[in-house]
């Protein structure tokens, strides 16, 4: 699905049924990601945003691993960093913040979310789909939802999986970089 087809699919979805706020945010992220991929940006197939309890977007960021040459520059980590800069603190707790992301967070990003104080996570595509479609290794994440719940972090997702899978497939079709270290026992790019 190219960016024009993605746009038409979104318009048809809006016309056909009412969508939730969470779905609207994830859908917007998927649309902006599809546009970036279609332009040939090297952002990787992920984008994230952080919103306050009133739904105002505090930060939005794409992956910048390839552009920055830094392995930790995932969309979620970049969005967290921007929110921390904007609010002037590393402690994001007590603010009712939600992290929205186009895909289930990887192992590293789950740690970042846990430690920064985000209170809610909403994601698009599941880890299983990310790994199956792109070949990314999302890491070992046993019982992460239960661990988040135990710490008071709410999770919603997967949402709008068909749209998210089409964006990931377009990334692969356009020969997007699958950035990960080569080591024994992991898929190789």
Active-site residues: which are they?
76
- Read out DSSP for 60-119? EEE--HHHHT-TT--HHHHHHHHHHHHHT-S--TTS--EEEEEE---HHHHHHHHHHT--
Residues in contact with 52: Cβ distance below 8 Å, sequence separation at least 6, in sequence order: 58, 95, 96, 97
């Amino acid at each position: 699905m190219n960016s024009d087809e993605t746009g038409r699919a979104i318009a048809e979805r809006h016309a056909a049924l009412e969508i939730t706020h969470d779905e609207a945010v994830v859908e917007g992220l998927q649309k902006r990601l599809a546009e970036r991929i279609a332009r040939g940006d090297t952002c990787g197939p992920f984008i994230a945003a952080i919103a306050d309890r009133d739904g105002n977007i505090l930060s939005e960021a794409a992956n910048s691993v390839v552009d920055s040459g830094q392995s930790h520059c995932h969309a979620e980590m970049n969005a967290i960093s921007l929110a921390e800069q904007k609010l002037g603190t590393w402690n994001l707790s007590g603010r009712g913040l939600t992290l929205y992301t186009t895909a289930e967070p990887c192992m590293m990003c789950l740690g970042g979310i846990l430690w920064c104080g985000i209170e809610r996570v909403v994601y698009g595509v599941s880890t299983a789909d990310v790994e199956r479609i792109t070949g990314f290794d999302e890491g070992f994440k046993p019982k992460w939802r239960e661990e988040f719940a135990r710490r008071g972090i709410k999770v919603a997702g997967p949402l709008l999986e068909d749209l998210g899978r089409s964006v990931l497939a377009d990334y692969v079709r356009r020969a997007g970089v699958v950035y990960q270290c080569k080591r024994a026992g992991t898929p190789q790019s």
